[in-house]
A and B are shown apart, each in its own frame.
Chain A
Amino acid sequence: MNPYLEDFPILKSESNGKRLVYLDNAATTQHPVQVIDAVDGYYRTSNANPHRGLYGLSVKATQMYEDARHAVGEFIGAEKDSEIIFTRNATEALNLVAYSYGLNFLHEGDEIVLPVSEHHSNILPWQMVSKAKGAKLRYMYPDKSGRLTDEEINSKITGKTRLVAIAHVSNVLGTVNPVKKIIEKAHSVGAAVVLDCAQSIPHYKIDVKGLGADFIAFSGHKMLAPMGIGVLYGKGELLEKMPPFLTGGEMIEYVDENGATFAPLPQKFEAGTQNVGGAVGLGAAIKYIENVGYENIGKTEDGLLSYALGRFAELPHVTVYGDAKSAKERCGVISFNVDGVHPHDVATILDTDNVAIRAGHHCAQPLMHYLGVNATCRASLYFYNTKEDIDALAKSLKKVRGWLGLGD
C-alpha cells in the first residue's frame, strides 16, 4: 500500500466502477489535501491585494506571498529571495528570459544552442529571438538511445555560442540530460545557460548553486501545486541588468507622463496583481515534497519504473522509445507505441478502463520528426503511483489491438 495515496482525494475517485489510474504526471500532477487546504485557507482567511494595502489583511497576504518566495528560494538553494521571480508557469519564465535577456543581450551572428528534444516552450522563444536579432539556432541531436554525447555537446557549443537552452529532463523520453557538463562547457565559452527544470524538479533535488545555471524555470502544477504559478530563478547580477518583461502596476518605482523608473528585484519582473493563492499552494507543495523526501521519491519511482519496463517488455506489439533503464537516467517517463494503432486510439481505449495517459506529439514536434514518428503514447509516473497502476495499464494495453481488429 502506498502511504501517500490517502492524501490525494482525486486518486480515490472512480468512473463506471473503475478506479482512476493516473499516469499523466509529466503533464500535470494531482494535489494532496495539504495543498488544497493551504489554498482554501488563504482565500478564506487572508486574501487581499499584496504590496498595496495599508491594512492588516493586505499585510498578511503580502507576508504569505513573500513566505512562499522564501520557501522556493530555500528549496532550490538560491542566494537571495529576490532571485525568485513568480510567473504563471515555466513557459512564461522561459519567455521572460527570451524577451528580456535574449532580445537585449544577443546579437547578429551569435549562436543559441539547444537540443532538438526540447519542449516547444524552450524552442519557440529562441526562434523568436533568432528571427528578431539574427542569431543562429544550433540544435544538438541525441543518439539513438536518447542521450547527448560529449562529442555532440563539444561540437555545438563553441566560441560563437552566447546562450544554451536545455531541459534537465526530456518530457518525451524522460532522458536526464548531462546538464552539469553542458553548463560547464557553456560557461567556459562565456555563454549563459537557461535550464528548464519543469520535468526534473518534481523528482530530483535541484540545487541552483551546484548546477550553476544562470536561469532556471519550472511550473508549480507539475510538482503538486496549483496551475497558474511558476518560477524563474535568475542569478541576481543578470536579473539586475535585464529590462522588465511586462510593464504596468506593481513593478514601478516612479512614473510620470513621459517615463518611469522600475522597482527593484523581484518586483521589477512581477507586473500586475500576482497569483498569491497559487504561491501559497506552491509553498505547501514544497513542504509536502520535503516531507516525503527526494530520496524516497527516487526509490519509489525507480521501483515503479523498472517494474513498468518489465511489464512493457512482456507486451507483444509494443515499442518503447529510449533505452535508459533506471530512474537515474530516465525520469519516470515511458513513451511507446502499439503496432498498427494510432496513439489517440490507444488513449481512448485505455480511457474506457479509466487509465489516463497522454498521446500525441507532447509539444516536441522537432523530436518526433527526428525519431521518425508522428506521435507516441506516454505514461508518466509520480511517487503516488503503485504497481497496481502499472498492472492496470498493462492489462488495458493488451486489449487495444483486439478492438481494432488486429489480433492480440
Chain B
Amino acid sequence: MGIEQLYTEIITEHNNSGRNKHHIENPTVIKKGVNPSCGDEIALELREKNGVIEDAAFTGIGCAISQASASMMVDVIKGKTTQEAEKLADTFFGMIKNEITDEEKLEPLEDAVALKDIAHMPARVKCAVLGWHTLEEAIKDEGAGNGK
C-alpha cells in the first residue's frame, strides 16, 4: 500500500471521526504517553473489571498517524482481557518492526493492520506505537494497583 492510500484509510477510518477520542466513565486507569521528540501526546483511559477492559478511549494531540493508531487500538482492545491486550501490543510491535508479516498472525489487530507499511517509514514508527506503548504502561499500572 502506498503512503497516500495509507493516509486515506487512516483518515477516513479514524483521525477525522474522533470516535474514540473522549473521556470514559469511571476509568480505573489513566495513562499519559508522549513522544518527546515530536510532541505527540495522548492520555489513554481504561475501565477494567475482573481482568477485562470494559471500556477505553483517549484524548490528546499529535499527528494523524499517532492519533489514528491510538483510535484503532481502542477499537481492538475493548472487551479483551488485559493479557490479550498485551499480546496484541506485542503483535503490533512485531508488525511495525517487520518481524511479523504472516497475515493470519496479524489478523487479530483488525483495522490496525493498515499501519503495517509504517515498518518502511522509520521516521514515523514512534508515532504508530505511541498508543500501544501507553497501553502496556497502563496495564502495568493497573496490575500494580495504582491505576489512578
Q: A-side interface residues toward B, CB under 8 Å?
A: 341-345, 347-349, 352, 360-361, 365, 368, 374-375, 403-405
Contacts and interface: CB of A to CB of B under 8 A. Distances in A.
A344 B65 contact: yes
Given A360-B39, A374-B39, A345 B65 contact: yes
Nearest to A405: B11
Contacts of B3: 348-349, 352
B89 interface: no
Interface in B53-112: 61-65
Contacts of B121: 348
Contact of B8 (A342, A352, A405): A405
A342 B37 contact: no
B144 interface: no
B16 A345 contact: no
A345 B63 contact: yes
B64 A374 contact: no
A350 B8 CA distance: 16
Contact of B63 (A344, A352, A361, A368): A344
Nearest to B4: A403
6 closest pairs, A vs B, by CB?
A342-B63, A344-B63, A405-B11, A374-B39, A375-B39, A403-B7
Contacts of B39: 360-361, 365, 368, 374-375
Given A348-B124, A405-B12, A360 B63 contact: no
B113 to A, nearest CB: 19
A360 B38 contact: yes
B38 A344 contact: yes
5 contacts: A344-B38, A348-B124, A361-B38, A361-B39, A374-B62
* B interface residue count range (under 10 / 10 to 19 / 20 to 34 / 35 or more): 20 to 34
B11 to A, nearest CB: 5
B11 A342 contact: no
Contacts of A347: 123
B129 interface: no
Most chain B CB within 10 A, of A341, A352, A360, A403, is at: A403
B46 to A, nearest CB: 25
Most chain A CB within 10 A, of B3, B64, B65, is at: B64
Contacts of B61: 374
Interface string B1-44: 00110011001100110000000000000000000011110000
A347 B63 CA distance: 11
Contacts of A341: 64
Nearest to A363: B37
B102 to A, nearest CB: 27
Contacts of B63: 342-345
A404 B38 contact: no
Interface in B90-148: 121, 123-124, 127
Given A344-B124, A404-B11, A375 B65 contact: no
B124 A403 contact: no
A404 B16 CA distance: 9
Contacts of B62: 342, 374
B7 A349 contact: yes
Contacts of A360: 37-39
Contacts of B37: 360
